[in-house]
């Protein structure tokens, strides 16, 4: 699947296109299929996202999982500071990234 | 289109010729330097030039800043124009390097340009403008 | 240390106001990201893997306790309560909000700090020797020269759109504690007939194509220095490659045209630039130098009480001789076993600020090895300092040992990275946690980079580790024999790469080979240089 991601302009937070808006949680992200570029330009133009781009992901029971480890680190947070990730209390989070 | 000009004299009406063309037939009064042209080639001819246009095809290519300073250092007093991918945030540096007119590809907000030129009034280094560097203000 | 006058302050304040306006225009959509990017980069603000990352300049690695406290405050107020000290003596914050950045910069400006030119294709932070002003082997304090260069390079109108970034280091002793030869320009202050000048090296660097800077001029007088450096930069700005970002550093230019030709062009340009009168008068260097006069040393020579064995160990490993009797140089390790190299919590930063104020004439240094230095500690205060460090978990006695690892942030933080570097550092440090074992191995500078950009200086590691992406999987290459000191050399890849656990095992095997083959008090690096790669390769690859 293809996911559209970027950053919030003001805060810099990593965000994911949900199909109708933006969420900081990758589990909320939607497969943009072939529409990615079009949505990207519309959202960037309206300043609802900064520096957007499209990545590959695999659909899993836990939700979309970015295909590349770099994007997974970006989705959750640094593996070496679990307390600073989006899932500080989740012991499986580190494994999900790696 | 010369949008921003900081000279009192008349704008040159002559079209600029390339450096190669100029060096071939040296009665032109306006020359255009590309980033990889050597501005020093013009030094013997500075008196006859009223306009030297320096091209900035991409703002990141900073060779034109050196070309400009070199020409001013050689005594050129004619119009020195920056043309191309010139953004408002480069204008102040360009002025300090000796540019006194600008022909940006995009349109620049005149208020923004004015703001850019008046943001700093202290400068650490001596350049091609008339600003007195801080070290000189400190020691006279 | 240097104190701003109203000119310095006006310049930094103007920059804060300018950036505030630029951010406002960006948030309002008046400028695009493409137009904004070079502007925010020139203020050290990256859009990084997790958020905006801000790199704050610590000029030549020197700061006072008030500034250190501000860094702690920034971490608490604008970030997640910690900062990361870098291999260029700066500090990075990883979770900055663009909308808060102008306020952050304004707070920094109130203590004479900034983030100017810590990114972008311009002249970056001037780095220097962390023992400046304290080491017995220096011919002079290099920092006044670094300050002169800092001012000269700040908002330099001709050199703000260079082919690529430009890094300058200044040292003043035969021992190179700043990896000077691996910089775009390296200066070594020397004396000639009683006069102070600089040996100028140009064209060093790491990254994709590591190179050692050749000497371009054996002696440039103080009065000529800025003209000479201006000439060096102008030749680079005009002729450095702009066709390929991986070939755009000055090292490529010097290598391609040759040092002799580069020197000739600089000479010619210098002869011209010298006529322009851009060099400040002697009085300016004297004015700056006055800020670096030695502090009011007044402690008498004592030998610290070594009866506490843990203190004694720390004393032997982390404390270095000071040129002034009665004083010592204290190294604070930011490499706790299993910790993140170079990171310090806001609480720890405050502790270090406090110690500097009480015990080090209010001064600290950041080293390019990502540690902190208290440069002027009275020997009779060492025990108290150590106790305070211990309480703050800053007393690891591992300076220059195998667990004193330089590691870039790597894939955990950096969008340029191919692999994580910090977990590798943690695993290696943990494997070698036994301090007796570490001390037995002795000086072993291990450096890890998460990608070819080499921010972890792996080329200069006695053991270097480079993280690569091998078909989407993290993989690690091992290099041996690098050094960033005066015996400068570039490490060589030893063979095929390893996975994370494999590279830790390989490092361990290498240390076993070293222990077997070493003679006398050879370091790992010396043994490797003497016996070559084969014995190590055999042990590691079988």
DSSP string, C363-411: EEEE-TTS-EEEEEEEGGGHHHHHHHHHHTT-----TTSTTS-EE--GG
Tokens found for residue B81: 């124009």
pLDDT confidence bin for C38, thresholds 50/70/90:
confident
Instruction: Tell which of C18, C157, C285 to mutate to test the B interface (max B CBs under 10 Å).
Output: C157
> What pLDDT does C461 receive?
98
d(CA B128, CA B66) in angstroms, rounded, equals 10
Give me the residue label for tokens 């290498």.
C510
Q: Do chains B and A touch (3 or more CB pairs under 8 A)?
A: no
d(CA A16, CA C497) in angstroms, rounded, equals 35
C508 pLDDT above the threshold of 90? yes
Give me the residue label for tokens 């110690």.
C355
> What pLDDT does B1 receive?
66
For C280-330, give the DSSP string.
PPHHHHHHHHHTTSPP---PPP------SHHHHHHHHHHEEE-SSTTEEEE
pLDDT 10s digits, B64-100: 999 999 999 999 999 999 999 999 889 999 999 999 9
pTM of the model: 0.97
d(CA B86, CA C62) in angstroms, rounded, equals 37
Cα separation values, B122 from B133, C46, C57, C285, C439, Å: 7, 27, 20, 19, 53
Please indicate whether, in this complex, the C-beta atoms of A79 and C49 are within 8 angstroms of each other: no
> What pLDDT does C56 receive?
98
Residue of C7, C151, C277 with shortest CB distance to B137: C7
Cα separation values, A34 from A63, C102, C164, C274, C336, Å: 20, 39, 37, 61, 49
- Cα three-residue angle C341-C146-C287, rounded to 5 degrees: 135
From first CA to last CA, the distance across chain B in angstroms is 41
Cα separation values, C92 from B1, C71, C319, C408, Å: 43, 10, 26, 11
- Contact list, C420 vs chain A (CB under 8 Å): 73, 79-80
- Contact list, A67 vs chain C (CB under 8 Å): 472
A85 pLDDT above the threshold of 70? yes
Residue of B35, B66, B119 with shortest CB distance to C158: B66
Which of C287, C15, C146 shows the shortest CA–CA distance to B136? C287
pLDDT 10s digits, C192-229: 999 999 999 999 999 999 999 999 999 999 999 999 99
> Cβ of A42 under 8 Å from any chain C Cβ?
no
DSSP annotation of B132: P
pLDDT 10s digits, C359-384: 999 999 999 999 999 999 999 999 99
pLDDT confidence bin for C180, thresholds 50/70/90:
very high
- Cα three-residue angle C442-C448-C450, rounded to 5 degrees: 170
Q: By CA distance, what is B39's nearest residue in C?
A: C238
Q: Report whether C168 contacts C233 (CB < 8 A).
A: no
Q: Report whether A82 contacts A88 (CB < 8 A).
A: yes
> What pLDDT does B15 receive?
86
pLDDT 10s digits, A51-63: 999 999 999 998 9
Which of B89, B92, B41 shows the shortest CA–CA distance to B67? B41
Tokens found for residue B12: 């040159």
Which of C528, C522, C529 shows the shortest CA–CA distance to C540? C528
Average pLDDT value for chain B: 94
> Cβ of B122 under 8 Å from any chain C Cβ?
yes
Give me the residue label for tokens 């992406």.
C469
> Cβ of B107 under 8 Å from any chain C Cβ?
no
Q: What is the ipTM of this complex?
A: 0.98
DSSP annotation of C498: B
Q: According to DSSP H, which parts of C399-518 are helical?
A: 422-431, 435-441, 500-517
Tokens found for residue A1: 């699947």
pLDDT 10s digits, A30-41: 999 999 999 999
C356 pLDDT above the threshold of 90? yes
Which of C213, C242, C239, C218 shows the shortest CA–CA distance to C228? C218
d(CA C473, CA A26) in angstroms, rounded, equals 21
Give me the residue label for tokens 């990615």.
A36
């Amino acid at each position: 699947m293809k996911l559209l991601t970027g950053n919030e302009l003001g805060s810099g937070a990593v965000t994911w296109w949900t199909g109708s808006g933006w969420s900081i949680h990758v589990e909320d992200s939607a497969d943009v299929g072939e529409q990615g570029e079009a949505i990207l330009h519309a959202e960037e133009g309206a300043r609802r996202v900064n520096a957007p781009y499209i990545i590959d992901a695999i659909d899993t029971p836990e939700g979309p999982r970015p295909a590349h480890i770099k994007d997974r680190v970006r989705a959750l947070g640094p593996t070496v500071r679990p307390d600073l990730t989006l899932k500080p209390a989740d012991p499986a989070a580190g494994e999900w990234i790696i | 289109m010369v949008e921003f000009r900081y000279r009192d004299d008349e704008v040159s009406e002559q079209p600029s010729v390339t450096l190669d063309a100029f060096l071939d037939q040296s009665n032109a009064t306006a020359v255009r330097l590309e980033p990889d042209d050597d501005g020093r080639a013009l030094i013997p001819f500075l008196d006859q030039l009223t306009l030297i246009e320096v091209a900035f095809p991409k703002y990141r290519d900073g060779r034109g800043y050196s070309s400009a300073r070199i020409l001013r250092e050689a005594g050129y007093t004619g119009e020195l124009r920056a043309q191309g991918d010139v953004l408002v945030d480069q204008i102040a540096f360009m002025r300090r390097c000796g540019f006194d007119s600008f022909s940006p590809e995009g349109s620049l907000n005149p208020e923004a340009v004015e703001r850019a030129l008046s943001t700093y009034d202290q400068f650490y280094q001596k350049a091609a403008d008339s600003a007195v560097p801080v070290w000189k203000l400190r020691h006279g | 240390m240097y104190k701003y006058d109203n000119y310095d302050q006006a310049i930094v304040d103007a920059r804060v106001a300018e950036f505030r306006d630029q951010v406002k225009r960006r948030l309002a959509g008046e400028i695009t990201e493409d137009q904004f990017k070079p502007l925010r980069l020139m203020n050290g603000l990256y859009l990084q893997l997790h958020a905006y990352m801000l790199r704050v300049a610590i000029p030549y690695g020197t700061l006072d306790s008030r500034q250190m406290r501000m860094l702690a405050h920034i971490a608490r107020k604008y970030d997640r309560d910690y900062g990361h000290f870098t291999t260029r003596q700066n500090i990075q914050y990883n979770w900055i909000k663009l909308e808060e950045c102008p306020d952050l910069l304004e707070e920094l400006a109130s203590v004479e700090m900034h983030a100017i030119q810590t990114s972008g294709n311009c002249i970056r932070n001037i780095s220097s020797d962390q023992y400046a002003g304290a080491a017995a082997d220096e011919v002079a304090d290099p920092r006044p020269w670094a300050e002169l260069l800092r001012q000269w390079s700040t908002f330099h109108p001709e050199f703000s759109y260079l082919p690529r970034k430009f890094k300058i280091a200044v040292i003043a002793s035969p021992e190179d504690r700043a990896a000077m030869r691996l910089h775009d320009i390296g200066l070594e202050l020397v004396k000639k007939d009683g006069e102070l000048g600089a040996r100028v090296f140009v064209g060093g660097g790491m990254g994709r194509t590591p190179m050692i800077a050749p000497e371009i001029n054996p002696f440039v007088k103080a009065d000529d220095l800025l003209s000479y450096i201006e000439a060096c930069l102008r030749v680079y700005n005009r002729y450095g490659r702009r066709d390929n970002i991986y070939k755009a550093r000055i090292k490529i230019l010097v290598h391609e045209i040759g040092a002799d030709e580069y020197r000739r062009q600089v000479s010619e340009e210098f002869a011209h630039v010298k006529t322009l009168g851009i060099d400040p008068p002697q009085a300016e260097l004297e004015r700056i130098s006055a800020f670096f006069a030695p502090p009011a040393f007044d402690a008498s020579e004592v030998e610290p009480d070594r009866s506490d064995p843990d203190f004694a160990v720390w004393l032997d490993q982390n404390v270095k001789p000071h040129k002034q009797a009665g004083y010592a140089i204290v190294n604070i390790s930011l490499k706790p076993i299993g910790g993140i190299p170079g990171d310090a919590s806001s609480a720890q930063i405050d502790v270090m600020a406090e110690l500097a104020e009480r015990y080090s004439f209010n001064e600290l240094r950041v080293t390019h090895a990502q540690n902190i230095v208290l440069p002027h500690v009275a020997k009779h205060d060492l025990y108290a300092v150590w106790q305070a460090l211990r309480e703050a978990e800053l007393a690891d006695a591992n300076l220059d040992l195998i667990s004193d690892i330089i590691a870039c942030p790597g894939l955990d933080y950096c969008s340029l990275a191919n692999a994580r570097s910090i977990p590798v550092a943690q695993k290696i440090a943990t494997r070698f946690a036994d301090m007796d074992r570490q001390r037995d191995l002795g000086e072993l500078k291990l450096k890890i980079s998460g990608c070819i950009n080499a921010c972890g200086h792996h080329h200069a590691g006695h053991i270097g580790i480079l993280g690569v992406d091998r078909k989407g999987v993290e993989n690690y290459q091992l290099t041996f024999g690098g050094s960033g000191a005066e015996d400068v050399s570039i490490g060589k890849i030893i063979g095929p790469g390893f996975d994370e656990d494999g590279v830790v095992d390989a490092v361990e095997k290498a240390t076993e080979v070293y222990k077997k083959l070493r003679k006398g008090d050879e370091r790992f690096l010396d043994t490797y240089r003497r016996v070559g790669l084969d014995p190590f390769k055999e042990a590691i690859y079988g």
